[in-house]
Amino acid sequence: MSEITIPTNTSTFSVALVGNPNVGKTTIFNRLTGLRQKVGNYPGVTVDKRRGAMQAGHNNVTIIDLPGTYSIYPNTEDEIIVHRVLNGLDEENQPDFVLAIVDMSSMERGLFLVSQVMDLGLPMAIVLNMEDTAENQGIVIKTHQLYKALGVPIIQSNARSDKSLKSIEELITNKSFAKPQPFLNPEDLLPDSLANTVNKEFNLANAYQAFQLIRFHESEVLLKKYQKDFIREKIAEANFDLKEAQVRETKLRYKAIQDILKQCTEYKDIKTKKLTQQLDKIFLHKVGGYVVFLGVLLLIFQAIFAWSTIPMDLIDGFFASFSGWVYETMPAGVLTDLIAEGIIPGIGGVLIFIPQIALLFGFLAILEDSGYMSRVVFLMDRLMRPFGLNGKSMVPLISSVACAIPGIMAARNIGNWKDRITTIMVAPLMSCSARLPVYVILIALAVPDENVGPFNLQAIALLGMYLLGIVAVLLVSIVFKLILKSKEKSFLMLEMPLYRLPKAKDVAITMFTKSRTFVLAAGKIILAISVVLWVLASYGPSSRMEAAIASIEVPEANADQEVIDDYNSQISSVELENSYIGIAGKFIEPVIRPLGYDWKIGIALITSFAAREVFVSTIATLYSVGADVEDELTIREKMDQEVNPQTGEKVYNIATSFSLIVFYAFAMQCMSTLAVVYRETNGWKWPIIQTAYMTAMAYVSAWAVYQLLS
């Protein structure tokens, strides 16, 4: 059979990056692929498979950035992904080569993972990264000795320097990967006969793959029941002790690695005063540490609320005038209305969040890259325990102030199932940036713009909403702590890396990619809803619509302007009432009446179930503020003037406004979040529970607030 020849300029291969957390893997990935990255469908941090494209000579190379792990034992979600990809269980993402990144200042742990990858038998190469840190610590690695011991290509690098990057690029371009010899003798791990039987049945490449499959077959969802039964049977036949085998493997591996490192490492005298130790004396101080953390949080909030107003006002102003320009320039008609009232404000409603989202993700990237985030985990773990949360819950919860989606995805790092589920369940209660426009507009209606001492009442109310979110998180966590049962033991175990200065380019790339994914994902929903809403609000069952319009008395031809204006506004009012969306709002009115809402607010609630920020644009469309839809002052004035036709009282009185604020604080109104929870928990159970409890909580609290205040 003749070989199929593929033209060199189109042939592609894929390289998976593996390594421990904090070894500079993402920096290498970013620098190899630049902005040619694909990051999942949702805004957020590391998604299952971060992929990027790289041009290497004539080849288009796909780089797969796997999550950082210490081993390929599948304990946390991240490790499961690494385990699957490297074991070939994930057929779509089988890499051709593996590039293992090792922190030179932490060789033993790095080589643990590397030696496991070697045993899997994939062609690989090793990058010894963080040359500079190792140098500072007086560690010298004899690369050639190590190469002789391991038998795969090794390069030393400092991923932040251009020279090192070039050598990594060259390594990939020349495909300087080698198929390694097994690091451990497979016979030490499991009986040959067992390995052979399983290899044959599952078509595996070597004994270590068989070992992995046997060890973890029970939790492997990709296996069919009869396959699991087969493995179970063979284990019993061979009288093979799984747990013991894994402990033995770990001990053997460390022993072998320590022997190698003795040959290849030299320690030089180093300066005792290290910057990290000095900084930790402050950052981890029993009192000072918490003061610093509070200061960091205040700085972030200051940035989100104060600094971002300038670009936000610019975006706001731009879209308002753009809408106006479209009105004036385009011929009057349905299409112009759709564009100027539906689409442009819809897009503006998304883009206005960019400054806040970008700033927040920028801060999070700085905290993460600098190594400070793990100090936060250290400080907060004890305080989170009574609530059934984990120090590692801090990252998801803080991220959720920007958006619950990256927050929920960040919960992957929590190894314990119960702590992780609790964190996922409560993360959407943190006040996310999408609630901000809703709060701003409702607080302006309910709270007077007055000062008490140096403090503005409205600002205090807004701060209060953030605190309310935090209190809700803690209380609901306690409930989940009491309800959820788990056999697993909660554990922390966390490495505190050396502090380093985050690289501006990495932070910028994070800010850009996160904002872009937010705009594309959230934007699609908001845009679609804006358009659908506009259509549903403009059309209704024609017989019903005509009858309603006919019932209004037509003014005489010579009537003055005031009468005609009044007639027009009556017409648009009944048109809305008899539109499809109006009928839907009327339908749910009896349910929301006890909360103090009318059918128009009902419409806003319905549309907000897709995304809560839609509230403002819905209200804007409903009260047809026209070209100024994104001008919150105008909307607020309209809302303030809205009266109940039966009672003649203001619709947005204090009781209704506060009731709405509380409803929006607790209700699950974000389809993207539900989609992520579905994906992260592998099923509909948890998203349904989340929607149910949050909606119930919102309804009851809003009802209580309304009854108390009215």
* C-alpha atoms less than 13 angstroms from C-alpha of 254 in its C-beta half-sphere: 8
Of 393, 447, 397, 405, the residue nearest 661 (C-alpha): 447
Q: Is residue 254 at the binding interface for other proteins, with CB under 8 A as the rule?
A: yes
Rounded to the nearest whole angstrom, what is the least distance from the CB of residue 416 to other proteins in the complex?
A: 11
Place of tokens 């022993």: 255
By CB under 8 A, residue 489 contacts other proteins: yes
Residue in 125, 139, 231, 533 binding other proteins, rule: CB under 8 A: 139
Token pair of 525, please? 């929903």
Q: What is the largest CA-CA distance in the chain?
A: 103
Residues whose CB is less than 8 angstroms from the CB of residue 67 and which lie 6 or more positions away in sequence, other chains included:
46, 78, 79, 81, 82, 412
Q: Taking the complex as a whole, how short is the minimal distance between the CB of residue 147 and other proteins, in angstroms?
A: 22
Q: How far is the CB of 389 from other proteins (least distance, A)?
A: 14
Min dist CB 276 to other proteins, Å, is 8
C-alpha span between 246 and 189 (Å, rounded): 8
Residue number, 42 or 70, with CB nearest to other proteins: 70
Q: How far is the CB of 660 from other proteins (least distance, A)?
A: 39
Tell me whether residue 242 or residue 459 sits nearer to other proteins (CB atom).
242
Q: How far is CA 441 from CA 401, 584, 630, in A?
A: 19, 24, 12
Q: How near is the Cβ of 184 to other proteins at its closest, in Å? A: 15
Rounded to a whole number of angstroms, the minimum distance from the CB of residue 70 to other proteins is 5
Q: 406: burial class by Cβ within 10 Å (0-12, 13-18, 19+)?
A: buried
Candidates 14, 246, 573, 653; binder of other proteins (CB under 8 A) is 246
One-letter amino acid for residue 526 of the chain: I
Indicate which single residue of 225, 286, 452, 551 sits in contact with other proteins (rule: CB under 8 A).
Answer: 286
Q: Which residue is associated with the tokens 């989340």?
A: 690
Q: What angle do CA 413, 523, 678 make, to 5 degrees?
A: 40
Q: Which of residues 100-119 bind other proteins (CB under 8 A)?
A: 105-106, 108-109, 112
Residues 6+ apart with CB under 8 A from 549: 571, 574, 575
Residue 491 binding other proteins, by CB under 8 A: yes
Rg of the Cα atoms in the chain: 30
CB of 411 to other proteins, least distance (A): 19
Contact call for residue 377 and other proteins (CB under 8 A): yes
Closest CB to other proteins among 251 and 593?
A: 251
Q: Residue from 65, 280, 506, 613 that binds other proteins (CB under 8 A)?
A: 280
DSSP summary character for residue 710 = -
H-helix or E-strand containing 126?
A: strand 124-129
Residue 212 CB, nearest distance to other proteins (Å)? 14
**Distance of closest approach, residue 496 Cβ to other proteins, in angstroms:** 4
Give dist(CA 265, CA 700) in Å, integer. 64
495 binds other proteins (CB under 8 A): yes
Which residues in 300-339 contact other proteins (CB under 8 A)?
Answer: none
**What is the closest distance, in whole angstroms, from the C-beta atom of residue 293 to other proteins in the complex?**
12
374 lies in the binding site for other proteins (CB under 8 A): yes
Q: Choose, by CB under 8 A, the member of 36, 232, 251, 505 that binds other proteins.
A: 251
Q: Which is nearer to other proteins, 104 or 405 (CB)?
A: 104
| Closest separation in Å from C-beta 211 to other proteins | 15
Choose which of 494, 532, 583, 584 interacts with other proteins (CB under 8 A). 494
Least separation in angstroms between CB 173 and other proteins = 33
Does 493 interact with other proteins (rule: CB under 8 A)? yes
Contact call for residues 376 and 13 (beta carbons, < 8 A)? no
By C-beta, is 111 or 507 nearer to other proteins?
111
Q: CB of 347: closest distance to other proteins in angstroms?
A: 45
Question: 153 phi and psi, to 5 degrees?
Answer: -60, 140
Among 126, 152, 168, 379, binds other proteins (CB under 8 A): 379
Backbone angles phi and psi of 460, in degrees to 5: -65, -40
Residue holding tokens 């879209």? 319
Choose among 427, 426, 376: nearest CA to 400.
Answer: 427
* Residue among 35, 291, 383, 554 that touches other proteins (CB under 8 A): 383
| Cβ–Cβ < 8 Å for 641, 691 | no
Interface with other proteins, residue 211, by CB under 8 A: no
Asked whether the CA dihedral 7, 8, 10, 15 is positive or negative, the reply is positive
Task: Considering only residues 637 through 696, tell me which ones interact with other proteins, judged by CB under 8 A.
Answer: none
Q: Cβ(100)–Cβ(177) under 8 Å? A: no
Of the listed pieces 146-154, 160-168, 489-497, 506-514, which binds other proteins according to CB under 8 A? 489-497
- Residue 391 contacts other proteins per CB under 8 A: yes
Structure tokens at 321: 């005038």
219 binds other proteins, rule: CB under 8 A: no
Strand (E) positions, 386-476? Answer: 451-452, 455-456
Q: Please name the amino acid found at residue 308.
A: S
- How far, in Å, are 272, 283, 501 from residue 276 at the CA level? 11, 10, 12
d(CA 189, CA 543): 78
- Give yes or no for residue 244 binding other proteins (CB under 8 A): no
Using CB under 8 A, pick the residue from 140, 205, 222, 247 that binds other proteins. 247
Task: Tell me how far, at minimum, the Cβ of 291 lies from other proteins, in Å.
Answer: 13
**Piece of 278-286, 299-307, 459-467, 663-671 that binds other proteins (CB under 8 A):** 278-286
Which of 242, 468, 492, 675 forms a contact with other proteins (CB under 8 A)? Answer: 492
Of the ranges 187-195, 246-254, 344-352, 568-576, which one interacts with other proteins (CB under 8 A)?
246-254
Per-residue contact flags (x/-) with other proteins for residues 400 to 429, judged by CB under 8 A: ---------------x--------------
The phi and psi torsions of 694 (rounded to 5 degrees) equal: -70, -40
DSSP 647: T
Q: How far is Cα 43 from Cα 528, in angstroms, rounded to an integer?
A: 18
Selection from 301, 221, 255, 209 nearest residue 108 by Cα: 255
Report the residue number, 359 or 414, with the smaller CB distance to other proteins. Answer: 414
| Vertex 75 angle, CA 72 and 80, to 5° | 60
- Of 50-58, 68-76, 156-164, 587-595, which segment contacts other proteins by CB under 8 A? 68-76
Amino acid at 665: A
Among 496, 508, 535, 654, binds other proteins (CB under 8 A): 496
Cβ neighbours of residue 13 closer than 8 Å, sequence gap 6 or more: 59, 61, 62, 96, 97, 175
Q: For residues 344 and 389, which CB has a smaller minimum distance to other proteins in the complex?
A: 389
The contact set with other proteins (CB under 8 A) reads 70-71, 73, 75, 105-106, 108-109, 112, 137, 139, 246-247, 250-251, 254, 276-277, 280, 284, 286, 374, 377-379, 381-383, 391, 415, 488-489, 491-497
